Structure 1
Amino acid sequence: MTETMPIAPAPSRLLRLYLLLGFSAGLPFYMFNAVLLLRLARHDVDIVVIGFFAWIALLPTFKFAWAPLLDNYSVPGFSRFWGRRQGWVMISQLGIFLALLAMAGTADDQSLPLTALFALLLAFWTATLEVAADGWRIELAPSQVEQAPVVAANLWGYRSAMIAAGSGAALVAARADWTTAYLVIAGAAFVPFPLLAAMRPERSPESHDAMGRTSALVQGVLVSLAAFALIGLAAALVGAALLSAVRGAGLSAETNVTPIVLGIALLPFVALAAALPRIKRLPLDAWANLPRVLAPHVELFWRFGHGVLPLLAFVSFYRMGDVLTLTLSHPLWNAAGYSLDQISMADGLVAVGCSLAGVGLGGLCAARLSMTLALVIGAIASAIGNWVFVWLWFAEPSALVLYVAAGVDQFGHGVAGAVFVVYLSMLVSPRFPGAQFAFLSGFAFLLPRLVGGASGAIQKAIGYDGFFLMAGALSLAAILFLPIVMHLRPRTR
């Protein structure tokens, strides 16, 4: 069960808080995704292998597996002084900082398994931070009208940090090297931690006045170091076992492993779907008797019944084009002959301004329009943002072409992202905010990131122009589900 509902801060303070939390989560995202893929491309790693690295972004899609732990357990030290949600945010920030340091130490990519290990750890801690922040946000702003400005503030921070990290890393790498680039981003990622540590703790049943801030920090940091070491060791052992199994099965970079990965990744969702008839028959008070890791997900399926199937199909298509575009946009720029300086500008000032404008428009649509119309506008904007790269591929290379394409892309994705987050927030139960949002947002990116892992092979088959035409068409296809999902009426207890 979650702790007593926290008292919401004043609106202006809440917006500042989520601007900061968005910055905290957005900063590391590009570093295990687009920047890492660009780094591998500059080190002449094969495009198919680069596509496999895109599967690292699959890990956050499974954050629903550990999200219930954040709803039910606290971090020693941090949570006792600052509260449960903020405690998880703080330990995640330290994990992000340490993972970035580790990626800086392996920036020559001479050992790709080691690069993958530290990128996975960075993805894990980033996802954990998102779970804690999302659950806190839904508790503090439960209605659609309240959610829209908080989501906009959060995405302003998130997308600004994400884009600034990508642009800054490329710029530093152009002037120095990739090790220095990751060290710089690691330093920036640490900045929010002391700011949150300086915050006045909210009163909650788990606050202890006798425990000072310093002792809470010391205990929390020690727990964070131990958690990073243990999770890193576990990931290394599992990764070594998987690599051994893959080699033993005779699989290589030329093997089409997408169907295998897709089948394994979909197993938990298929199991829940198969159990739907039994779930629908559960009594109203069944949640208290279910394991804590299952209760949030079973409750979601109970409320929507068989309607959860088209709902999950819709959320998996809505951001499909965005994910595919993110996977190969930077390799496309590299293949088109653009320099790191030009890429850093496109990922920096151009993308930040256009992304913030898109998020603002998306938040305004979510607050002022019907959700159906807002989702349609977001899907169209996203499709245009995907298709603009077809024009870039055939246009004569110039800075203007790159900046226009990057701006249109970021604007469209900003609109779609803001509307989508508000929509998902309205689907969750107040009883399980963090876990259910993690489930829905994780599933929304599962199929796109699975397809993204095969993006290199797809690009070799249909070219960059065919790839981005397909991405835009998939974004637009989400509209076909709206007549069904917008008429779903969940059961209430």
Structure 2
Amino acid sequence: MPASIAADLTETAPPERPPLRTLSLYLLLGFSAGLPFYMFNAVLTLRLARHGIDIVIIGFFAWIALLPTFKFVWAPLLDRYSVPGFSRFWGRRRGWIMLSQLGIFFSMVAMAFTSSDQSLPLTALFAILLAFWTTTLEVAADGWRIELAPTQAQQGPIVAANLWGYRSAMVAAGSGAVLVAAWSDWAWAYLVIAIAAFFPFPILAAMGPEAKHAKGRTGALISGTLFSLAILALTGAATAMIGWALLCAVQGAGFSAQTNVTPIVLAIALLPFLALAIALPRIRRLPADAPSKMPGFVAPYVEIFWRYGYGVLPVLAFVSFYRMGDVLTLTLSHPLWNAAGYSLEQISMADGVVALTCSMAGVALGGLCAARLPMMLALIIGACASAIGNWVFVWLWYAEPSALVLYVAAGVDQFGHGLEGAVFVVYLSMLVSPRYPGTQYAFLSGFAFLLPRLIGGAAGAIQKQIGYDGFFILSGALSFAAIFFLPIVMRVRARTA
């Protein structure tokens, strides 16, 4: 990748077709974000299942994926502040990306040294830190992407490249970690992926500065690393203290694995969104320039509610259902494979060559649909593909176990959800304001995963009630239900200031 890439990207307006260097950049950034995602999600649930952890507890670990849902809470920090050292030479966006990569590396190393899962609170702590830094990287990369490519036609190829990197990294992490665990143990599995996750850091460090005449690469690298280590230590200590306090409160209130905490978690998670909905009538009456006069932590959210008015409510309902199948499949697909008697070697192959090939094909078709078709038609195709990607696991559950059955099911799943994901990213990118791209995209994409991940946390309890077949029939139907919102959603129009 050329050293002048950052300067080229920031100094010139993007053409109608993004240049190859921009696509290469987002292939790399997608890889950086996708590699750790499986390690606190699908791979972790498989690891816990192999250690004999109860399926209900495994379901609770799926709530770690709720953290990215609330990335809008700290997303304004990335628009407002810079990382000391790194940002001086490489710019604000890349500074945050480099800090996040260090956080990802150290969190995954910590998960390797606690891979016996003898202390589940400790396992949860490092998984939460890994989820936090992975999400922070995504926020910085998404904000930069929307700034570089403001139109739907430009977004399609960049999103496809980004998701190729993201999903290929997820597949590499899932397949590679499981294969290493089969050959050795889970500690080595996490160490190998941690080293791979660190690989993009020196590539970004070797790239050119944001400003054309910026100097002092070595000094910026040293000072940025030292400041980053301090930030990582403070973040880890704060997370541990908050987690310890919450754990004590939960235990003191008498909650256990048998307690249905889903309604409580749902109520807490919905509070900030309910507050915005209650304030909607007042927001609509504000003058057009009101958001620009508000504090940076509030303005992006007020602006998007002002712009779409009451139309924002069906939009939020739609995005809540659209990725349902993707999230719920990721929660219980690996425990299902384990329960069906498939070996780690077979699971590794399904998560490897099969998933990578089919996922990239789905992403390519999804990016093409988003760039060439009317958005409503592209979204319908994505919802149908996602539903089929869930329902295929019902067939797997009843079929005689064989490698072919596993590979076909994994391929259909990855193709459908890859297609759906590419279309959805473009759709969300078209909803944000160019004044607040990172923060508003974080808000919308976070809300999109709130309901699915809340249900995912209760997936173990649901599975005990209706079985694996009933669970995947339900999850596919919920994903398909997003189609019924489209006649309303497609009529929503934004006000202009």
- Scaled to the shorter chain, the TM-score interval is over 0.9
1:11 to 16, 19, 22: 19
1:285 aligned to 269, 289, 304, which one? Answer: 289
Matches within 5 A, 1:251-290: 251-290=255-294
Corresponding position of 1:184: 192
One-letter amino acid of the counterpart of residue 389, structure 2: G
CA contact (8 A) 1:6 1:140 kept: no
- In structure 2, the residue corresponding to 1:68 is in which secondary structure? helix
Partner of 1:321: 325
The alignment status of 1:425 with 2:429, answered yes or no, reads yes
Distance 2:177 2:368 in 1: 32
Percent identity between the aligned chains? 78
Partner Cα separation in structure 2 for residue 8 and residue 411 of structure 1: 33
Question: How big is the shift at 1:7?
Answer: 3.4
Matched with 1:22 is 30
SS of match in other structure, 2:84:
coil
Q: Does the aligned pair in 2 maintain the 1:104–1:179 contact within 8 Å?
A: yes
Q: Does 1:49 align with 2:61?
A: no
Of 217, 242, 246, the match for 1:242: 246
Preserved CA contact (<8 Å) 2:56 2:461: yes
Gaps of 5+ in 2: 1-8
1:286 Cα offset (Å):
1.3
Asked if 1:164 is matched to 2:172, the reply is yes
Residue 446 of structure 1 is matched in structure 2 by 450
Match of 1:136 in 2: 144
Answer yes or no: is the 8 Å Cα contact 2:89–2:211 preserved in 1. no
User: Which amino acid in the other structure matches residue 189 of structure 1?
Assistant: A
- Counterpart mapping for 1:18-417 below 5 A: 18-203=26-211, 209=214, 211-417=215-421
Structure 1 SS opposite 2:409: helix
Measured in 1, the distance between the counterparts of 2:345 and 2:394 equals: 22
Counterpart position of 2:467: 463
Alpha-carbon distance between aligned partners in 1 of 2:194 and 2:325, rounded to the nearest angstrom: 29
8 Å Cα contact 1:8-1:14 kept in structure 2: no
Q: How many angstroms apart in 2 are the aligned matches of 1:19 and 1:256?
A: 41
Q: State the Cα distance separating 1:8 from its structure 2 match.
A: 5.2
The whole-number CA distance in structure 2 between the counterparts of 1:274 and 1:18 is 38
**Offset at residue 287 of structure 1 (A):** 2.0
Counterpart of 1:80, as a letter, is: R
State how far apart, in whole Å, the 1-side matches of 2:421 and 2:63 are.
21
Q: Would you say the 8 A contact 2:362–2:419 is kept in 1? A: yes
Q: Please tell me whether the aligned partners of residues 26 and 162 of structure 1 are also in contact (alpha carbons under 8 angstroms).
A: yes
Task: Identify which range, 287-296 or 58-67, moves more after superposition.
Answer: 287-296
Cα–Cα, structure 1 residues 16 and 8, in superposed 2: closer, same or farther, change >3 Å? Answer: farther
2:439 paired residue number: 435
CA distance in 1, matches of 2:337, 2:415: 18
For residues 465 and 319 of structure 1, what CA distance do their matches in structure 2 show? 19
Higher deviation after alignment, 392-401 or 81-90: 81-90
Deviations 1:43-89 (CA, angstroms, capped at 9, x unpaired): 00000000000000000010000101111111111111011111111
Deviations 1:318-362 (A, max 9, x none): 001111111000000000000000000000000000000000000
1:133-172 Cα shifts (integer Å, max 9, x gaps): 0000000011000000000000000000011100100000
Contact (CA 8 Å) 1:5, 1:139: kept in 2 or not?
no
Counterpart of 2:39, as a letter, is M
CA distance in 1 between counterparts of 2:395 and 2:244 reads 42
Q: Aligned partners of 2:488 and 2:253: how far apart in 1?
A: 43
Q: CA deviation at 1:288?
A: 3.0
CA contact (8 A) 1:147 1:422 kept: yes
Could you tell me how far apart the structure 2 residues matched to 1:230 and 1:53 are?
Answer: 24
Aligned length: 486
Q: Is the 8 A contact 1:6 1:202 kept in 2?
A: no
Distance 1:290 1:233 in 2: 32
> What root-mean-square deviation, in Å, do the aligned CA atoms of Structure 1 and Structure 2 show?
1.1
SS of match in other structure, 1:254:
coil
Q: Report the TM-score, using the length of structure 2 for normalisation.
A: 0.97
1:6–1:139 Cα contact (<8 Å) kept: no
More displaced stretch, 135-144 vs 281-290: 281-290
- Greater shift after overlay, 396-405 or 282-291? 282-291
Contact 2:10 2:210 in 1 (8 A): no
Asked if the contact 2:320–2:447 (Cα under 8 Å) also holds between the matched residues in 1, the reply is yes
Q: Match of 1:263, as an amino acid?
A: A
User: What is the distance in 1 between the residues matched to 2:448 and 2:223?
Assistant: 36
Give the SS at the match of 1:414: helix
Q: Which residue in the other structure is 1:491 paired with?
A: 495
